[in-house]
């Protein structure tokens, strides 16, 4: 029960959290604010809640509450672990922390790792010759930070240039800066989705939780190959490739950081933290870790949780003590980007039966029944990236992304320009529509010309040949253009999509079976990533890429990796949640399953 100063606004919330987290974290992860100035460290004694049942009494509780209050169930929320169902009364806030909505409707209370504290210090006198540092530390003794040499160098001038009115910048237990004057309203962080194809950076104002600027660019590792396997192979064939790939990743990140700071009019020195969400290979390459073991059985990572490092070690010119934090990974093919996605979608906090699919060359699938969470990776191949598709292209200007068949062919084209090719969502749409009108049969073969004339007379003349191969003309640039000059969907393209959808549906059907969930009982399907988020739900259902469910249950989740990175920056509780999450999820290896091939073949038909 969450009480408000206004009794009419008291609300009842039921939330699910990983076992063992503190009541304070459980509330914070679910957007419920509990009073605190220490951020859950057990020192401020403000996080008072009333909990039903018997709970241990700590020495901090004894100091905070009367005997009667303890008997009545009052405890400090950050010192009680949720190991069973708990009923908790949360009193109105005396200080209202700010919250932001991030990810798929997630409310995050702003508790960034970086804390700024403005203090007005007494100037030294002959009677008070405390050191500059002692003077500052005495004023922020609840934070108990340790200084470094960088701070000591800045301290005398910072204090004296601002009449001893300064802002201390603290991260965890480290005092990382002393800034003249009151800078508490200036605090930024950089959230990065480090994708294999595209890298997206969001500059956040962490004092409000709002994005200041967003920029994206192609990963500069592209010349080494379009997918993780070709980049891993590059490192195996050329001893210098790892260094060059690392440099390319760093240059991509540096360029984006410069761009968002310029766009947002933000001094890079006020960016104190970076969170990176990337797959296991992208993470290894950015850190200069040999990715070879990721590319071959038994697919082993060097570490699930890379250590934090200074942003300058990645070549980023931000605050000199800015830290970079990475998301932990579940396995070689369910990486930090997916853990970030699970955080953003609240896969571990929702009681509903949900299926999360990040559609791409490597397709990550997560299923939760509200109790257990299973994850796997399915090798979907290059169909969605356009690589193996005759007229395939990335989702850029000129890419057909929507296809509707009727008396004619209606196309939705990115940028509203002349169609140049077909992107992943257009491919799924085109195949789904051709199946619907009967020009592709259930086995994925184009029907005979006579059948086409019967089922779709207005479209039949578009079914033709390029060389020996049957193709369907989606766009003819000029009335007399030859099929070779047209944007077409070939028989082989349909096969590529069939392989991809069979791999994906084998993945989710195995996971559902493992949890004994019927397809129709899935309450929500979250389609994530730059391909998944743009797929038409109806088309995805029609070709069997997702379970046959009402389309309203199928939700585009967007760039959830980037959203997870934002959450980690806005809240240390959420960041800790990502680390707890990996212990909650069971990774299922598909290539280990003896029945994978049979199931895959079963799933090929439309
Ligand atoms: Fe400060 Fe619990 S949050 S004591």
Q: How far is the CA of 371 from the centre of ligand 1 (A)?
A: 29
Question: Hey, how many other C-beta atoms are within 10 angstroms of the C-beta on 117?
Answer: 17
pLDDT of 121 reads 97
Q: How far is the CA of 49 from the centre of ligand 1 (A)?
A: 11
pLDDT of 96 reads 56
Whether 40 is in the pocket of ligand 1, judged by its Cβ within 6 Å, is yes
Which atom of ligand 1 is least distant from the CA of 44?
1
Q: What is the mean pLDDT of residues 5-28?
A: 77
Which atom of ligand 1 is least distant from the CA of 35?
3
DSSP string, 447-513: PPHHHHHHH-TTTGGGEEEETTEEEEEEE-SSTT--GGGSEEEEHHHHHHHHHHHHHHHHHHHHHHH
Q: What is the strand order of the sheet 174-180 is part of?
A: 114-120, 165-171, 174-180, 146-147
Domain with residue 133: its CATH number is: 3.10.20.880
Atom 3, ligand 1: which residue's CA is nearest?
A: 40
d(CA 167, CA 170): 10
Closest among 577, 536, 569, 571 to 555, alpha carbons compared: 536
Q: How far is the CA of 60 from the centre of ligand 1 (A)?
A: 10
Per-residue pLDDT band at 321 (split at 50, 70, 90): very high
- The verdict on residue 416 lying in a domain is yes
466, 484 Cβ separation under 8 angstroms:
yes
Domain with residue 52: its CATH number is: 3.10.20.30
Question: Residue 74: pLDDT above 60?
Answer: yes
- Domain limit, last residue, from 271, 296, 326: 326
Which atom of ligand 1 is least distant from the CA of 43?
4
Pocket test for ligand 1, best of 25, 74, 78 (most atoms within 8 A of CB): 78
- The verdict on residue 332 lying in a domain is no
Check the CA dihedral 384-390-395-400 and report its sign. Answer: negative
- The verdict on residue 105 lying in a domain is no
Q: How far is the CA of 39 from the centre of ligand 1 (A)?
A: 6
ipTM surpassing 0.90, yes or no?
Answer: yes
Atom 1, ligand 1: which residue's CA is nearest?
A: 44
Same domain, residue pair 218 and 316: yes
Q: How far is the CA of 122 from the centre of ligand 1 (A)?
A: 29
Same domain, residue pair 459 and 577: yes
Per-residue pLDDT band at 24 (split at 50, 70, 90): confident
CA–CA distance from 382 to each of 337, 449, 477, 501 (Å)? 19, 29, 26, 12
pLDDT of 197 reads 87
Per-residue pLDDT band at 30 (split at 50, 70, 90): low
What are the tens digits of pLDDT across the range 36-69? Answer: 777 677 888 889 999 999 899 999 999 999 999 9
Same domain, residue pair 389 and 474: yes
d(CA 233, CA 290): 11
Same domain, residue pair 176 and 199: no
- The verdict on residue 417 lying in a domain is yes
Q: How far is the CA of 380 from the centre of ligand 1 (A)?
A: 47
Same domain, residue pair 453 and 528: yes
Question: Residue 530: pLDDT above 80?
Answer: no
Count: domains in the chain: 4
Same domain, residue pair 174 and 207: no
- The verdict on residue 594 lying in a domain is yes
Whether 24 is in the pocket of ligand 1, judged by its Cβ within 6 Å, is yes
417, 387 Cβ separation under 8 angstroms:
no
- The verdict on residue 103 lying in a domain is no
- Note the maximum CA span of the chain: 103
Q: How far is the CA of 469 from the centre of ligand 1 (A)?
A: 69
Domain with residue 240: its CATH number is: 3.30.420.480
Per-residue pLDDT band at 382 (split at 50, 70, 90): confident
Same domain, residue pair 215 and 171: no
What are the tens digits of pLDDT across the range 231-258? Answer: 999 999 999 999 999 999 999 999 999 9
- Domain limit, last residue, from 138, 161, 180: 180
- The verdict on residue 278 lying in a domain is yes
- The verdict on residue 475 lying in a domain is yes
Which atom of ligand 1 is least distant from the CA of 38?
1
Whether 34 is in the pocket of ligand 1, judged by its Cβ within 6 Å, is no
Question: Hey, how many other C-beta atoms are within 10 angstroms of the C-beta on 521?
Answer: 13
Same domain, residue pair 452 and 592: yes
Identify the domain containing residue 224 by its residue range: 188-326
Q: What is the mean pLDDT of residues 80-93?
A: 90
pLDDT of 485 reads 95
- 285-289 long-range contacts (CB < 8 A, ≥24 apart) are 285/221, 285/231, 285/235, 285/242, 285/245, 285/246, 285/249, 286/194, 286/246, 286/249, 286/250, 286/253, 286/314, 287/246, 287/326, 288/242, 288/243, 288/246
Q: How far is the CA of 83 from the centre of ligand 1 (A)?
A: 19
Pocket test for ligand 1, best of 25, 45, 88 (most atoms within 8 A of CB): 45
Same domain, residue pair 493 and 580: yes
d(CA 565, CA 342): 11
Whether 36 is in the pocket of ligand 1, judged by its Cβ within 6 Å, is yes
Same domain, residue pair 270 and 137: no
Same domain, residue pair 222 and 246: yes
Higher-confidence position of 207 and 531: 207
| DSSP classification of residue 331 | B
- Domain limit, last residue, from 180, 209, 236: 180
Same domain, residue pair 206 and 261: yes
Whether 45 is in the pocket of ligand 1, judged by its Cβ within 6 Å, is yes
Which atom of ligand 1 is least distant from the CA of 42?
4
Question: Residue 541: pLDDT above 70?
Answer: yes
pLDDT of 95 reads 63
d(CA 371, CA 234): 41
Tokens describing residue 526: 């979250």
Q: How far is the CA of 331 from the centre of ligand 1 (A)?
A: 35
Q: What is the mean pLDDT of residues 440-459?
A: 95
Whether 97 is in the pocket of ligand 1, judged by its Cβ within 6 Å, is no
Whether 295 is in the pocket of ligand 1, judged by its Cβ within 6 Å, is no
What are the tens digits of pLDDT across the range 384-437? Answer: 777 788 999 988 899 999 999 999 999 999 888 999 999 988 999 999 999 999
Mean pLDDT for the chain?
Answer: 91
Which atom of ligand 1 is least distant from the CA of 60?
4
């Amino acid at each position: 029960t969450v009480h408000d100063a206004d009794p009419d606004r008291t609300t009842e919330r039921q939330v699910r959290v990983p076992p063992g987290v503190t009541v304070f974290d459980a509330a914070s992860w679910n957007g419920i604010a509990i009073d605190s100035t220490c951020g859950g460290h057990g020192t401020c004694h403000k996080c008072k809640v009333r909990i039903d049942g018997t709970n241990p009494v700590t020495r901090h509780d004894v100091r905070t509450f009367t005997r009667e209050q303890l008997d009545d169930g009052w405890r400090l929320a950050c010192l009680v672990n949720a190991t069973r169902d708990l009923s908790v009364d949360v009193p109105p806030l005396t200080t209202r922390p700010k919250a932001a909505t991030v990810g798929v409707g997630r409310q995050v209370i702003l508790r960034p790792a970086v804390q700024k504290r403005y203090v007005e210090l007494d100037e030294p006198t002959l009677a008070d010759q405390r050191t500059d540092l002692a003077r500052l530390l005495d004023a922020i003794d609840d934070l108990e930070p340790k200084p470094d040499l960088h701070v000591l160098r800045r301290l005398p001038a910072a204090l004296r240039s601002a009449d001893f009115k300064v802002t201390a910048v603290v991260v965890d237990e480290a005092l990382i800066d002393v800034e003249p004057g009151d800078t508490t309203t200036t605090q930024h962080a950089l959230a990065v989705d480090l994708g294999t194809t595209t890298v997206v950076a969001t500059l956040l104002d962490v004092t409000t939780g709002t994005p200041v600027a967003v920029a994206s660019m192609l990963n500069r590792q592209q010349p080494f190959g379009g997918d993780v396997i070709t980049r891993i192979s590059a490192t195996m064939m050329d001893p210098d490739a790892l260094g060059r790939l690392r440099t390319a990743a760093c240059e991509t990140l540096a360029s984006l950081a410069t761009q968002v700071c310029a766009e947002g009019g933000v001094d890079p020195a006020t960016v104190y933290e970076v969170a990176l969400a990337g797959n296991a290979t992208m993470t290894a390459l950015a850190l200069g870790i040999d990715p070879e073991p990721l590319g071959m059985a038994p697919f082993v990572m060097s570490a699930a949780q890379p250590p934090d490092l200074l942003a300058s070690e990645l070549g980023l010119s931000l605050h000199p003590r800015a830290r970079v934090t990475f998301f932990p990974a579940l396995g070689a093919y369910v990486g930090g980007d997916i853990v970030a996605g699970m955080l953003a979608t609240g896969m571990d906090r929702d009681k509903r039966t949900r299926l999360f699919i990040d559609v791409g060359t490597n397709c990550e699938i997560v299923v939760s029944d509200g109790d257990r969470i299973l994850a796997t990776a399915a090798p979907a191949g290059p169909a969605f990236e356009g690589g193996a598709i005759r007229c395939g292209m990335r989702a850029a200007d000129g890419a057909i992304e929507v296809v509707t068949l009727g008396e004619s062919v209606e196309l939705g084209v990115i940028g509203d320009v002349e169609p140049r090719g077909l992107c992943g969502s257009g491919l799924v749409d085109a195949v789904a529509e051709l199946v619907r009108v009967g020009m592709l049969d259930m086995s994925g073969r184009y029907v005979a010309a006579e059948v086409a004339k019967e089922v779709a007379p207005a479209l039949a003349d578009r079914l033709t040949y390029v060389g020996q191969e049957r193709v369907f003309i989606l766009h003819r640039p000029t009335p007399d253009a030859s099929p070779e000059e047209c944007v077409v969907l070939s028989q082989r393209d349909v096969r590529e999509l069939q392989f991809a959808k069979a791999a994906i549906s084998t993945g989710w059907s195995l996971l559902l079976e493992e949890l004994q969930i019927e397809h129709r009982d899935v309450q929500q399907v979250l389609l994530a990533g730059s391909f998944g988020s743009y797929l038409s739900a109806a088309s995805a259902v029609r070709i069997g890429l997702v379970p046959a469910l009402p389309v309203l249950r199928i939700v585009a989740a967007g760039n959830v990796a980037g959203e997870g990175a934002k959450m980690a920056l806005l809240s240390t509780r959420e960041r800790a949640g990502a680390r707890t999450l990996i212990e909650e999820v069971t990774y299922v290896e598909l290539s280990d399953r003896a029945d994978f091939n049979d199931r895959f073949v079963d799933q090929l038909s439309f």
